[in-house]
Amino acid sequence: MNYQHPKLIEELAAQYVLGTLRGRARRRFERVCAHNAKALDAVRQWEDRLVDLLAGVVPVAPSAVVWDQIKFRVRRDRALRPKRVFATFGNWRFALAAGIAALAIAFGLWTGFGPTTAQPLASFWNQEQGQLWNIEAPRNRVELRIAAAENLQLDAARAYELWALPADGAAPVSLGLMPKSGRITLELNDAQRMALSRSRKIAISLEPPGGSPTGAPTGPVLFVTDIVVAG
Amino acid sequence: MHVHGLMADVHSQTLPAHAGPLPSQDATQAEHLELLLGRCAQRDERALQELYQLVSGQLLGILMRILRRRAVAEEALQDVMVKIWQRADQYVAYRGRAMAWITAIARYRAIDLLRRQQAASPIDDAPAEALVDITAADFVDTTTSARMRKALHDCFSKLTAEQRRCLELAYVDGYSQDQIAGEIDSPLGTVKSWMRRGLASLKRCLDS
């Protein structure tokens, strides 16, 4: 396919934004956008053209727990990542001069180029309830996909926090809060990925709402399980 | 507008007061979103909270239209807000409206999740909470330009009914072309043709 052809780029960009470009074709076009400024700009223009079609979608109030989870993930991220420096808002805004090259980079980063194939990472079980949680992760372990078993009997007033236990005896590193129902995806930062790569086991501790206030487990460790070794 | 059935695991809720519209005019409000993104880029957690209060209701509505299930949509909303937080500095390189950037992140996340979800189970009807209601556009009133909204409305109304329906099902509901063909009981080739022509007409009209 000739991705230099303007008409083709335009059609693919429209379908990409519309959501009808799917599967491998979608991934392929994302890769094109990463180095083709015209394709990326066509996507941006379609995003801008169509966004107002969503004007009539009725807002739905999220459950309170959603913000709690976001806050938890952001604080963990903030504690473990180096601070980015922007002197003033004005500087930030006028950094628009970054231009097309930055756009291409940004596109790759903001889309993440789609999910990678998840593999089993670990499962937590107990005798009373059988399987409690199942955890999968892509090979590069940029995220953990955690599914809670149905009808879990858990303490509604406490949080269940997941920890990597480095094999070298270093302090446990929090990986996030376990879902009490349904599925969540926990994105891991570099420090968390590194801790996970140095661990053969992970654990869950019982913590106050929102997770451990200290960065270390403060409640009882409820479960410890082995990490599946990648094949 | 199209009508969908109710969904079992979705419960009606009233938006909290803080999720209501901002006062003042479009330009100011769009700038406010940009300002919040700028503060997020500076790692100002209060800015993220304010942004969340402003956009979370609308984003969850959009996510539920595509993903159908509240639990999955709320998980996606978490991912989207964390992504916005992590990548707010990249908005500087985006030469479009802040809400278009934010919405794109949400929709692309939903489309990725939808593929996994559809592999596991069939689609339910869209949640009643997130049905299109053009009179309920209070949030978007606060974040996009009235002029652009009117332009889209005018151009969209010039499309054929079939073209409008196809584009809405794809963009708002996350339908694939196959699903659209099934929904409106038309051949896939015809649907593709309607969509291609509809998009081309829309572009010509909006760019003119």
pLDDT in tens, B141-169: 444 567 777 888 899 999 999 999 999 99
Q: Is B156 found in the same domain as B86?
A: no
Q: Look at residue B132 in the predicted model and tell me its pLDDT.
A: 43
| H-type alpha helices, A138-220 | 190-197
Task: Select from A73, A78, A77, A95 the least CA-distant residue to A86.
Answer: A95
B62 contacts B130 by C-beta, under 8 angstroms: yes
Q: How confident is the model over A161-189, as a mean pLDDT?
A: 89
**Are A220 and A130 in the same domain?**
yes
Q: Where are the beta strands (DSSP E) in chain B?
A: none
Residue B59: domain span: 6-144
The shortest C-alpha distance from A168 to chain B (Å) reads: 30
Please, are residues A155 and B47 in contact by the beta-carbon 8 Å criterion?
no
How many domains are there within chain A? 2
CATH number, position B31: 1.10.1740.10
Q: Are residues A98 and A169 in the same domain?
A: no
Domain with A10, as residue range(s), is 1-58+88-114
Closest chain B residue to A20 measured between Cα atoms?
Answer: B176
- In chain B, what are the helix, strand and coil shares in percent, each to the nearest 5? 75, 0, 25
- Candidates B37, B82, B103, B176: best to mutate against A (most CBs of A within 10 A) is B82
Same domain, B91 and B179: no
**Domain shared by A105 and A7, yes or no:** yes
Mean pLDDT over B169-190 rounds to: 94
Could you give the CA distance from residue A56 to residue B58 in angstroms, rounded to a whole number? Answer: 10
Q: Are A163 and A186 in contact (CB under 8 A)?
A: no
Q: Could you tell me the pLDDT band of residue A79, with boundaries at 50, 70 and 90?
A: low
Q: Are B140 and A52 in contact (CB under 8 A)?
A: yes
Q: Please identify, among B111, B144, B177, the residue that sits at the C-terminal boundary of a domain.
A: B144
Q: Which of residues 2-41 of A touch B (CB under 8 A)?
A: 10-11, 14-15, 17-20, 22-23, 26, 41
B136 Cβ under 8 Å from any chain A Cβ: yes
Do B12 and B49 lie in a common domain? yes
Reported in sequence order, the residue ranges of chain A that DSSP labels E, i.e. its strands, are 118-126, 130-138, 143-148, 159-166, 173-177, 183-187, 199-207, 221-226
Q: Same domain for B188 and B106?
A: no
Q: How many residues does chain B have?
A: 208
Question: Any idea what the CATH number is for the domain that residue B193 is in?
Answer: 1.10.10.10
Closest CA to B115 of A45, A88, A207, A22: A22
* C-beta atoms surrounding A220 within 10 Å: 9
Q: In this structure, how many other beta carbons lie within 10 angstroms of the beta carbon of residue A190? A: 11
Residue A169 has pLDDT above 50, yes or no: yes
User: For A44, which of B16, B95, B152 is closest by C-beta distance?
Assistant: B95
Residue B107 lies in a domain: yes
> Does residue B1 belong to any structural domain of this protein?
no
Find the closest chain A residue to B89 by CA distance: A92
ipTM > 0.90 for the complex: no
Q: Measured between beta carbons, which residues in chain B are less than 8 angstroms from residue A91?
A: none
B163 lies in some domain: yes
Q: Are residues B150 and B95 in the same domain?
A: no
Predicted structure pTM score: 0.60
The minimum CA-CA distance between B95 and chain A, rounded to whole Å, is: 7
Tens of pLDDT, residue by residue over A1-46, are 666 788 889 999 999 999 999 888 888 998 888 888 889 899 999 9
Give the domain-ending residue among B144, B168, B187: B144
Q: Does A44 touch chain B (CB under 8 A)?
A: yes
Question: Does any domain span residue B178?
Answer: yes
Indicate whether A191 belongs to any domain. yes
